[in-house]
Chains A and B, each alone.
Chain A
Amino acid sequence: MLIFHEEKNEEKPMRKNIIKHALLGLVLIGASSMTLADYSADQIAKGKALYLNKKAGNCIACHMIPDADAKLPGNQGPPLLAMKARFPDPKVLRMQIWDPTVKNPTTIMPPFGKHWILSEDDIDAIVAYLYQY
């Protein structure tokens, strides 16, 4: 079974994982009565710094984002555009940063929360920053 698309570095999750994910989705629908929080300028600025910092999030190594300060990004991952439309529930976006292997077992993206690469506050700040785009 070939698990990679021709060009993009995105893989099809296994059937089992699709089901698991659908279940997670149901949990989320139940849980996300929370509305999109407003984020403070400080939190957004912190998220941006983490996004760019090679020793912290270093999201820029793999993702482009339409922020003029995010120069020469890599493209291992998809561009981070229309984040609110793609992730209407911030918890889903948060989970994707916390451990992207749940959704996609063969992803190259590190589990930033599960492996304590970033703190929980850091991840919240990155979510805040990403929602600006």
Chain B
Amino acid sequence: MNKTISLVAALMMVSGSVAAQTFDEAFNAQRGMNGKGHSFTFEGKSYTTDHPEEVAAAAPANAANAKQLLADAKAQYAKALEVDFGWTLTKGLLSSANKALDAGEFRKSMELSARAQYHSRMGVAQYHQSQQEWLMAVPN
């Protein structure tokens, strides 16, 4: 894997017009091909294909962690709404996460919050990506 990445890097230097692969692009390619829990190297450092939200949801299941994750998810959802790119399922996920927290089902709550947070992070990413890409779809 290391070898391949340095080969890619070498190629990038040759063809100057190609933008270097960003971490997100590298992560997505690795996750897309391999799923979760896969290790890969990017610019000399090791990473796994787990999303930060999944890592947070795997923390010890307790009230403090569940509360924190729910608060983070709500804050991220607010950011998605701010750029007008909220997704429809997120609100329901947050409300279920809240209920699970109240019922003491911390693991369940954390998983739901993580999902809501991920949706919202992707909504914001979608907003930024769309700014760059929408024109490609226009016939002319």
B119 pairs with A116, CB closer than 8 A: yes
CB distance from B107 to the nearest CB of A (A): 17
| A94-B28 Cα distance, complex, nearest whole Å | 12
Interface size on A, residues (CB 8 A): 32
Return the chain B residue nearest A30 by Cβ: B4
Q: Is the contact region of chain B dominated by helix, strand, or loop, or is it mixed?
A: helix
* Majority SS at the chain A contact face: helix
Interface string of A102-116 (1 = CB under 8 A from B): 100110000001111
B99 sits at the interface (CB 8 A):
no
Task: Name the CB-closest residue of B to A97.
Answer: B32
Contact A24 B1 (CB under 8 A): no
Q: How far is the CA of A50 from the CA of B136 in the complex (A)?
A: 31
Known A3-B136, A102-B29; 13 more pairs at CB < 8 Å: A14-B136, A20-B21, A23-B11, A29-B4, A94-B33, A95-B32, A95-B33, A102-B28, A105-B133, A114-B32, A116-B115, A116-B119, A120-B36
Q: Which residues of B contact A (CB under 8 A)?
A: 1, 3-5, 7-8, 11-12, 15, 17-19, 21, 25, 28-29, 31-36, 115, 118-119, 122, 133, 136-137, 139-140
